[in-house]
Structure 1
Amino acid sequence: MLQMIYGYARVSTAQQDYATQIDDLKRAGASKIFKDKYTGTTANRPEFDKLMDKLQNGDTLIVTKLDRLARNTQDALSIVKQMNDEGVILRVLNIGTIDNSPSGRLICTVFSAFAEFERDLIVSRTQEGKAWAKANNPNFHDGMPRKYTKEQIDFAWKLHTQNHMSYSEISKKLGISKATIYRRFRELRIQNINKKSRP
């Protein structure tokens, strides 16, 4: 199977352009580049989701900086781990290659330390925000309906962790997009981190 080198570019406002990122990604060898505009009014990254569906074992993903790939340290750590599970190589131009090599594992270890600290801050702020909303907003409801149930995702997680099925295999078997699997598994990993850190 032909191994692909993808690039991903993201800007934070509608006024910014991708020119510099795209030039850097092309020089680094990216043959196909996906682009998203992420603003304060939306957290959707449709092109990133399409990219996650395309990535296969042996492919390489290049980003100019880690914050182009993820919104926070926990998100970055989870994405990196999931890519490693899929056999996808991640190249961050201002950091280096993150894979299963000793240097790649060292970077993941550093991420883990920062992610745990950041998780505590996020949990604290989220709880404070929800408490305020519940007390002051009569229309407040916690979360949005999910397309796939917890049982379906738990079954997919079992296929991955116990049956060692890849994301692509799970997607074909259950009809769940790889982007959704990445996202929901990322949430499960964060939940597991939270449980382990509790006294």
Structure 2
Amino acid sequence: MKYGYARVSTINQDLKGQIDILKEEGCEIIFKEKFTGTTAERPQLAELIQTLKEGDTLVVTKLDRLARNTKDGIEIIESLFDKGVNVHVKNVGLMEDTSMGRFFLQTLLAVAEMERNMIVERTQEGKAIARQRDDFREGRPKKFKKKNIEDALRMLDEGMSYKEVSEMKQISVSTLTRAKRKAKAEAIEKASK
């Protein structure tokens, strides 16, 4: 039987592209999950490995969808070879349980891990450079402009309820509460100077 495994790293990413490829490849059952490759916790992969038996084929679109790093990839694929499971990586081909197949596997996984590490390094370098700028702010950009928040706080001060202001300004009650708390703290700090 042909099984597929699809994985993306974040909740916001879409599995559809991988699933379409796996269906085209003739996978009868597809296991899918949204877990970062850096975590060992991948329940769907664990269940799939338990399900596979001798003569089955596991299909993945790319090797890094299956493994977190070189060591992890070699362990997973060797355990599958030991069970008599064929492994087909779409962008590489059928991985065989031969000396050449194992060498090819180790080389590919090492390159994929190096590529991931380089991406992390470049991201960290970019952040370090950005932190040197005066206008750098860590984290997500603010969703609401300062004027919108000020208007909402003014409405609260005029006696409107948090719920009314939230519905009117399309700002969540929790955001309004935080803004109100921050404004109060700033007013106290200003008064104490």
What TM-score, normalized to structure 1?
0.51
1:17 aligned onto 2:1? no
Contact in 2 for aligned 1:59/1:88 (Cα 8 Å)? yes
> Which residue of 41, 47, 54 corresponds with 1:57?
54
| 2:73 partner letter | A
Gaps of 5+ in 2: 118-193
Q: Does 1:98 align with 2:132?
A: no
> 1:87–1:14: structure 2 CA closer, same or farther, 3 Å change rule?
same
Distance of 1:73 and 1:41 partners within structure 2:
12
Letter in 2 for 1:63: V
Q: Which has the higher contact order (CA 8 A, sep 6+)?
A: 1
The alpha carbon displacement at 1:49 in A equals: 1.0
Specify whether residues 73 and 29 from structure 1 end up closer, same or farther in structure 2 by C-alpha distance, changes over 3 A only.
Answer: same
Match of 1:35, SS state, is: strand
The secondary structure found in structure 1 opposite 2:23 is helix
Q: Which residue of 2 aligns with 1:72?
A: 69
C-alpha distance in 2 between matches for 1:41 and 1:83: 21
Kindly state the Cα deviation for residue 63 of structure 1 after the two structures are TM-superposed. 0.2
**SS at structure 2 position matched to 1:107:** helix
Q: Distance in 1 between matches of 2:100 and 2:55?
A: 18
Over 3 Å counting, the alpha-carbon distance change for 1:98 and 1:41 in structure 2 is: closer
- Matching residue within 105, 116, 129 for 1:108: 105
Match runs of 1:160-175 below 5 Å? none
CA deviation map 1:45-68 (0-9, x unaligned):
111111011000000000000010
Report % sequence identity. 48
Return closer, same or farther for 1:16/1:51 CA change in 2, 3 Å cut-off.
same
Structure 2 Cα separation of the partners of residues 40 and 51 of structure 1: 16
Tell whether the 8 Å contact from 1:13 to 1:39 is kept in structure 2 after alignment.
yes
CA 1:50–1:12 in 2, change beyond 3 Å: closer, same or farther? same
Amino acid at match of 2:72: D
Quote the residue 1:177 is aligned against. Answer: none
Once residues 42 and 105 of structure 1 are traced to their aligned partners in structure 2, the CA distance between those partners, rounded to angstroms, is 24
Separation in 2 of the partners of 1:56 and 1:24?
Answer: 23
- 1:91·1:98 contact (CA, 8 Å) conserved in 2? yes
Query: Unpaired segments of 5 or more residues in structure 1?
Result: 122-199
C-alpha spacing 1:45/1:73, structure 2 compared with 1 (3 Å): same
Distance 1:18 1:96 in 2: 21
Whole-angstrom distance in 2 between the partners of 1:84 and 1:70: 15
Is the CA contact 1:77–1:111 (under 8 Å) kept in the aligned structure 2?
no
Q: How many positions carry a matched residue from both structures?
A: 114
Task: Describe the shift of the 1:97–1:53 C-alpha distance in structure 2 as closer, same or farther (beyond 3 A).
Answer: same
The one-letter amino acid paired with 1:44 is E
Q: Provide the TM-score with structure 2 as the length reference.
A: 0.53
CA distance in 1, matches of 2:26, 2:54: 18
Q: In the TM superposition, what whole-angstrom CA distance separates every residue of 1:16-72 from its partner, at most 9, and x where no partner exists?
A: 111000000010111100001114896421111110110000000000000100111
